[in-house]
Structure 1
Amino acid sequence: MTNTYRDSKGNVMALVIPAEHSVTGIEFFTRDEDPQQVAFMGHPAGHEIQRHYHNPNPRTIDYTCETLVMRKGIMQVDLYENREIIHSFRMKAGDIVTLFSGGHGFKMIEDTEMVEIKQGPYPGPADKTRF
């Protein structure tokens, strides 16, 4: 079971896939038009995904999405709309969150390790506004 957090207009701000989540096959959590595609895959030993490559496909992305994969620890995630906190939750090792919109901040509750994945290229300081 995933957790989806939305802003006051119903837009998805964050999608959390808990460490315990499991399916057989492929489960997509995002729509085709979303700027970041997120899926969970569970396949038995011996299963093969046919070799492939991705064709050139120009895209326009207005905002940076980021995905965090928790490897160790516990972290509090705060989500903001108009600089006001509207959601707060904790993540643990094995959890994954994709942040689609709004503001966000993090507080480490325990020593934490995570992997961050986001779209490039990185434009430098123009990428974010701190508040």
Structure 2
Amino acid sequence: MIQQIIHGNKILAIIIKRNFQKDGIEFFTPDDFSQQLAYMKRPKGYIIKPHVHNIVERKVRYTQEVLFIKKGKVRVDFYDDERNYLKSIILEEGDVILLAHGGHGFEMIEETEIIEVKQGPYAGDMDKIRFEPVDKNQINTEDV
């Protein structure tokens, strides 16, 4: 299962559920995303030729992060660029999410282990603006 969280004309997130499976390779992100996300399933003996990556200067305007839910259960709250709450989803062990635009917050429903991957270098206080989370009575959760 693949789900995109879209607000207006922006992809806020791409979610790959733990049971997604497909032969070959599939990229889920548009070519212009600064963080690229793909799934690969190859048969035994398949060879990816050794390679090096060329030096290519890129301009990163938004920090896009990928979270791998290694263990547990977490609620992800989505906000637009003006910090207005939109909706929430629940992710579980094995799920993967790319956070591309808008705001987001998290509440651990169970003890949770997450592996995070994002662009660097980290810009410290310039990297993000923190704000108050949505009131718990307004949460609209959907299981993905």
Which range, TM-score by smaller chain? over 0.9
State the Cα distance separating 1:87 from its structure 2 match.
Answer: 2.1
RMSD over equivalenced CA pairs, Å: 0.7
> Residue 113 of structure 2 aligns to which amino acid in structure 1?
E
The percent of aligned pairs where both chains have the same amino acid is 43
The 5 Å alignment of 1:40-55 reads 40-55=39-54
Query: Deviation string for 1:34-79 (max 9, x for gaps)?
Result: 1111100001111111111110000001110000000000000001
* Paired position in structure 2 for 1:73: 72
Q: What is the distance in 2 between the residues matched to 1:120 and 1:66?
A: 10
State the Cα distance separating 1:83 from its structure 2 match.
Answer: 1.1
Q: What is the distance in 1 between the residues matched to 2:11 and 2:59?
A: 19
Q: What is the distance in 2 between the residues matched to 1:35 and 1:74?
A: 27
Q: What is the distance in 2 between the residues matched to 1:10 and 1:20?
A: 28
> Residue 50 of structure 2 aligns to which amino acid in structure 1?
R
**Structure 2 spans left out of the alignment, 5+ residues:** 132-144
* Paired position in structure 1 for 2:17: 18
Q: What is the distance in 1 between the residues matched to 2:66 and 2:33?
A: 14
* Paired position in structure 2 for 1:83: 83
Query: Deviation string for 1:61-106 (max 9, x for gaps)?
Result: 1110000000000000001012111121000000000000000000
Count of aligned pairs: 130
Q: What is the distance in 2 between the residues matched to 1:3 and 1:100?
A: 13
* Paired position in structure 2 for 1:103: 103
Q: What is the distance in 1 between the residues matched to 2:77 and 2:101?
A: 12
TM-score (norm 2): 0.88
> Residue 49 of structure 2 aligns to which amino acid in structure 1?
Q
> Residue 34 of structure 1 aligns to which amino acid in structure 2?
F
SS at match of 1:90: strand
Which range moves more in the overlay, 112-121 or 82-91? 82-91
| 8 Å contact kept, 1:75–1:91 | yes
> Residue 2 of structure 1 aligns to which amino acid in structure 2?
I
TM-score (norm 1): 0.97
